[in-house]
Structure 1
Amino acid sequence: MTAIAPPPTPRMILDTMQDIVRTVDEHAREMNRRWGFNRLPHLVPLEWTERFVSQKRKWEMAVFECVGDPRPEPYEQMRKHGDAMIRAYDKLDELALVAGKSPAAPGTWEFELPDGTPIALVRTRAEIGQVEREPKVQVWCLEEIGQIIAKFPELVLATKSAFPHAEVIQLSTGADVHDALNDSLEDLPGFEPRSITTPTTGHHRHG
């Protein structure tokens, strides 16, 4: 007789929810690295922009409806819309390429600060004005970063000396979503904070 697997526990469901959010976020970050911050939805026909925005709202609503409700039904809705978000990003990527649009310029690093501020990093001051960007994006060059390191050596260099392989990482999901999911986990017996590590959001595009 085949053994029947026990149903997932609330902790297992909430852990899986976090994994789904991370997967969708990583897909979004990859598209931002490839096309520039928030450019891709505006490089396709308006119909597809509207469909993408609608799907994104459904995804965000599904995530928030799962918060504090670790039942299979909300989880299935979240998983459904997570899959739809990944397909949506891939479709926009395909449509932009068919339309002859160009990905982000080579020689540019793009990432987000912990508060969600988008940053584009270039090599020289001369390249700052050459970056096509959304109004929210701040463009910095390596010379400016060097000036910051020189001004605050005790903060930057001391850390790197003590931890030569350290990386600064952050999650692109809104902090309110992750905080809410963690709050839900804290209500479960035996909860221990879960360490989440993701790749750095900075990405070097080779020139």
Structure 2
Amino acid sequence: MKAVLALLILPMSLYAGESNAQQARKLFNSVYRMVFASKGCTLHYDVNIIGIYKTKGIISYKGKKSRYIEDRYLSWNDGVTAYMVDKKKKAVKIYRADDDNKDGYLAKFKYDLNNFEYSWKEGKDGIQLILRPKTSHLIGIRQVVGVLDSKTHYPKYLRIKVAFFWTTVKISHFSTDELDDKIFVFPRKQFSSYSFIEHRKD
């Protein structure tokens, strides 16, 4: 992790001789590795897509494993099986870890990172990392602006343009402390009174 963090705090001037797009993709890759590092990452998020989707919570990643906690929804993904909990309906849906259907509405915004054009510039709040799809569609992501801390390159917030409107995802309490694999194990006993819905064979 020390080596990764050392890379992340290098000034952009050390990428001299490369195009803006090359610098931006390298920066994106370094942040991506930090978020999905083998030791883990935790952050708080707050998203509000007006009239469509609003939520806030805490999410932890460790490689292909993840866990998030919100007021109504919770999820544990141990890299093999994903458990999606709805506290209001008192139900647990079980999916394969790699099944996009587990993400519900957000599954509509899956994307290939190689299908974006990358650029960056300095902004008043930090480094702006800008992603634009090579091919735009009426529905889906039109542009993403990630704002990073100028020194640590920790993400501060995302501005996402979907169709014709923008939304902001606020990010706080970003941490790269090592995570125990136990936190990604579904605590079945806590939800013994819930109904379980099997989707792994869908």
TM over 0.5: no
Determine which structure has the larger strand proportion and give its number.
2
Name the structure, 1 or 2, with higher relative contact order (CA <8 Å, separation 6+): 1
- Measured against the shorter chain, the TM-score band is under 0.3
Determine which structure has the larger helix proportion and give its number.
1
TM-score using structure 1 length: 0.24
